[in-house]
């Protein structure tokens, strides 16, 4: 029981985040650290080389509407590793199909001690949707907790209705994949035992 209470308190603290941060309107133009090594912000936050270096950013995920490609683009290719995702910022856009590539890029960067900035144009809908899915899977959270966790660090996020639906759907997808990943060895062992039992029965019948 004490373990459960401690786990619940740890989850609450994780989701709530730092309680001493006073959100100011101008902070929407900056990036915020969501997890250690993972920052979320608008395109504007990716344009200041000195600030990026001060934040020790090493990798940048640039998520943009295809119509914005002429302006929302990598600016410092000599300084950072980039992943650019061209998507449509509308409710029909399939984010779940694109997410695994983004997750792999972020995971690899953080595993090497890097720090990743994920941004879209405004840092309100597109990039936050990806970050919510990442946080959800990384910490094995329900989608509501993951959304609140990101919102409590970057208060201005508001994924559109279609993205929220996909975030909810992704919770089922990642939980199912974890369940499958936990059993393949056991299933193979059972299959081998069954084959072995069948072979023994055939030998006895000969």
Q: How many CB atoms lie within 10 A of CB 138?
A: 17
What's the pLDDT at 100?
96
What's the pLDDT at 90?
84
User: Is 62 considered catalytic here?
Assistant: no
Write the pLDDT tens digit of every residue in 20-48: 578 888 999 999 999 999 999 999 999 99
Using DSSP, state whether 41 is helix, strand or coil. Answer: strand
Nearest residue to 115 via CA among 44, 167, 68, 46: 46
Take residue 87 and report the two structure tokens written for it: 């998507």
Are 109 and 81 contacting, i.e. CB atoms less than 8 angstroms apart? yes
What's the pLDDT at 109?
98
pTM: 0.82
Query: How far apart are the C-alpha atoms of 64 and 122, rounded to whole Å?
Result: 10
Give percent above pLDDT 90 in the chain. Answer: 67
Are 160 and 88 contacting, i.e. CB atoms less than 8 angstroms apart? no
Q: Mark the ranges of the chain whose per-residue pLDDT is less than 50.
A: 188
Take residue 101 and report the two structure tokens written for it: 């590539």
Bridge partners, residue 119, by sequence:
41, 62
What's the pLDDT at 136?
96
Q: Which domains does the chain have, with CATH numbers?
A: 29-178 (3.90.190.10)
∠55-61-65 over CA atoms, to 5°?
A: 130
Q: How many CB atoms lie within 10 A of CB 151?
A: 17
Q: Which of 63, 120, 135, 141 is catalytic?
A: 120
Bridge partners, residue 59, by sequence:
81, 116
């Amino acid at each position: 029981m004490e373990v459960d209470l401690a786990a619940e308190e740890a989850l609450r603290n994780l989701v709530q985040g730092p309680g001493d941060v006073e959100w100011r309107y101008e902070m929407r133009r900056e990036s915020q650290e969501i997890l250690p090594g993972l920052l979320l912000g608008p395109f504007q936050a990716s344009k200041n080389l000195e600030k990026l270096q001060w934040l020790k950013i090493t990798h940048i995920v640039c998520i943009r509407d295809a119509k914005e490609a002429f302006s929302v683009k990598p600016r410092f290719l000599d300084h950072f590793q980039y992943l650019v995702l061209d998507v449509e910022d509308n409710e029909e856009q399939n984010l779940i199909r694109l997410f695994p590539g983004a997750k792999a890029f972020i995971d690899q960067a953080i595993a090497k001690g890097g720090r990743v900035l994920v941004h879209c144009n405004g840092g309100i809908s597109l990039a936050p949707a990806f970050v919510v899915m990442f946080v959800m899977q990384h910490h094995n959270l329900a989608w509501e907790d993951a959304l609140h966790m990101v919102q409590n660090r970057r208060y201005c996020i508001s994924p559109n209705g279609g993205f929220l639906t996909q975030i909810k759907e992704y919770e089922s997808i990642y939980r199912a994949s974890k369940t499958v990943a936990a059993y393949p060895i056991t299933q193979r062992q059972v299959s081998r035992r069954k084959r072995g039992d069948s072979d023994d029965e055939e030998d006895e019948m000969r």
